[in-house]
Amino acid sequence: MSESFTRAAAIKLADNGARALSAPQRLTVLGATGSIGLSTLDLVSREPERFKVVALTAQSNAENLAKLAIAHRADIAVIGDERCLDDLKSYLAGTGIEAGAGEAALIEAAARPADCTMAAIVGAAGLKPTFAAARQGRRVALANKECLVSAGDVFLAAIRASGAELLPVDSEHSAALQSLAGAERVAVERIVLTASGGPFRSWPLEKLREARPEEALKHPNWSMGAKITIDSATLMNKGLELIEAYHLFPVGVDQLDAVIHPQSVVHCLVHYIDGSVIAQLGPPDMRTPIALALNWPERRVTPTARLDLVTIGSLTFEPVDEVRFRGPAIAKAALARGGSAPAILNAANEVAVAAFLGGRLGFLDIARTVERSLEAAETRGLIRATESLDDVLAADADGRELARHTIETQN
């Protein structure tokens, strides 16, 4: 594939059959207790002979982590919060499963030989372990979009250097991968990601000002972790995904768009230069894209509900209202600005979402905080080239500091 549709070998397309499974695949799940982690392990439990679980990790829920490690006979379980190590050890006592804790242990677990790593830690906290997984030169199934947003080029360079395969787990990007099959990059005109519009799709601006965390956490279609659910309500999730798509596929910023599609049935539309549009459809269940990322290029039976378009009746589409939902526009501007701007955006968004969930920030102030943090970064000359993971982590720290300052002083 000379001019492949994937950005310069970011995704090394396995030749069909190349990965036909003879032995169990060694699998590590980073973020095993989360929504994506549990969906992944649900699939694993249905075909236990296909997988050998190496490492499972979580941040603070030692009991759930231990249960998963025991159920899946993992070699090692690692908890991010070192204060939980004693609990983890006691839950694992007598099982022969190793226990570890802290950032270094997370990284070490991610570096243990595995054929596939599900990178499903939420947020920039996933950067170092996901990089460690990428350096193995095997397969990275990437759910942690923040990694591509903050570290895009640096992460892809690590993938290329090790010869790893990068498979998107995000449903829209899995959809794009499928809709681009066989395409020459010159034939691709536009990639359009769909967004459900979240729980506030039809709320007027005045009402949005008063939106509460418990209302924002009620996603109409998808069941996901808290951070991405809030990102879906602000549509910053779509902004992050536009940046993610830019890094995964060979399109410019101006060839990427988002459209509201409340039914969450069509996940992505690829427009071709001849007027054809190829889209991927599926039920809103992450086990479909997870199964594809784990088994690519093979398709496996999943237990997801089958799509019944007759019952659904109609599929509708609306433009993104950029006044009420600033996320996609802010993200596109940060992507166009380049350098550390997307890392600062991501970090500021993480801080703002946490403040909103903690009742310290209004709903509309999430996007405002991100926008102001980026403006402040520009004014202070903090938007710089990011050439290494350390540069990205420094930009992430800047973004957090700017957002905290913005929240304290301006909102």
Q: Which residue number is nearest to ligand NAD in terms of Cβ? A: 34
Question: Does residue 125 touch ligand NAD according to CB under 6 A?
Answer: yes
Nearer to ligand NAD, 193 or 395 (CB): 193
Near ligand NAD by CB under 6 A, which window of 116-124, 244-252, 305-313, 378-386? 116-124
Q: Does 37 bind ligand NAD (CB under 6 A)?
A: yes
Tell me how far CA of residue 261 lies from CA of 171, 230, 353, in angstroms.
Answer: 14, 18, 24
Position 122: which residue type?
Answer: V
What are 346's two structure tokens? 């991501």
Q: Which does 145 bind (CB under 5 to 8 A by kind): Mg ion, ligand NAD, none?
A: ligand NAD
The CA-based angle 312-314-320, given to 5 degrees, is 115
Q: Phi and psi for 338 in degrees, rounded to 5?
A: 75, -165
Say whether residue 146 binds ligand NAD (CB under 6 A): yes
- Minimum CB–partner distance for residue 311 and ligand NAD (Å): 23
What burial class does residue 259 get, using C-beta atoms within 10 Å of its C-beta: 0-12 exposed, 13-18 middle, 19+ buried?
middle
Closer residue to Mg ion, CB minimum distance, 289 or 339: 289
Residue 190's beta-bridge partner residues? 271
Lookup: tokens for 84:
């939980």
230 touches, from Mg ion, ligand NAD, none (C-beta below 5 to 8 Å by class): none
Question: By CB under 5 A, which span of 34-42, 88-96, 164-172, 394-402 interacts with Mg ion?
Answer: 164-172
Q: Which CB sits closer to ligand NAD, 31 or 327?
A: 31
Residue 178: Cβ within 10 Å count:
19
Minimal distance, residue 14 CB to ligand NAD, in Å: 22
Of 379, 268, 287, 11, residue with least CA distance to 159: 11
- Does 244 participate in binding Mg ion (rule CB under 5 A)? no
The DSSP bridge partners found for residue 256 are: 191
Q: Which does 222 bind (CB under 5 to 8 A by kind): Mg ion, ligand NAD, none?
A: ligand NAD
Task: Give min distance, CB of 352 to ligand NAD, in A.
Answer: 15
Point out which span in 15-23, 29-37, 92-100, 338-346 binds ligand NAD (CB under 6 A). 29-37
DSSP 3-state assignment of 125? helix
Question: What residues pair up with 194 in beta bridges, in sequence order?
Answer: 259
Residue 396 interacts with Mg ion (CB under 5 A)? no
Identify whether the C-beta of residue 117 lies closer than 8 Å to the C-beta of residue 142. no
Structure tokens at 36: 């994506």
- Name which of Mg ion, ligand NAD, none residue 287 binds, using a CB cut-off of 5 to 8 Å depending on partner kind: none
Whole-angstrom CA distances from 246 to 15, 148, 203, 240 are 24, 9, 30, 10
Q: Which of 146, 170, 350, 396 binds Mg ion (CB under 5 A)?
A: 170
Q: Smallest distance from the beta carbon of 237 to ligand NAD, in angstroms?
A: 7
Stretch that binds ligand NAD, among 88-96, 117-125, 197-205, 324-332 (CB under 6 A): 117-125
Closest approach, Cβ 276 to ligand NAD, in A, equals 27
Containing 99, the helix (H) or strand (E) segment is strand 98-101
- Contact stretch for Mg ion (CB under 5 A) within 115-123, 163-171, 175-183, 326-334: 163-171
146 touches Mg ion (CB under 5 A): no
Restricted to residues 73-92, the positions that interact with ligand NAD (CB under 6 A) are 80
> Residue 198 interacts with ligand NAD (CB under 6 A)?
no
Who's near 325: CB < 8 A, 6+ residues apart?
234, 235, 367
Binding partner selected for residue 58 from Mg ion, ligand NAD, none, CB under the kind-specific 5 to 8 Å limit: ligand NAD
Cβ distance to Mg ion smaller for residue 69 or 258: 258
Q: Given candidates 7, 34, 155, 327, which one binds ligand NAD under the rule CB under 6 A? A: 34
Contact segment (CB under 6 A) with ligand NAD among 89-97, 114-122, 302-310, 384-392 equals 114-122
SS3 297: coil
DSSP letters, 167-223, are: EE-SHHHHHHHHHTTT--GGGEEEEEEEE---TTTT--HHHHHT--HHHHT--SS--
Closest by Cα among 116, 114, 113, 119 to 57: 119
Across the beta sheet with 277-281, the strand order is: 256-260, 188-195, 266-272, 277-281
Tell me which residues touch ligand NAD (CB under 6 A).
31-37, 58-59, 80, 106, 120-122, 125, 143-146, 170, 222, 224-228, 286
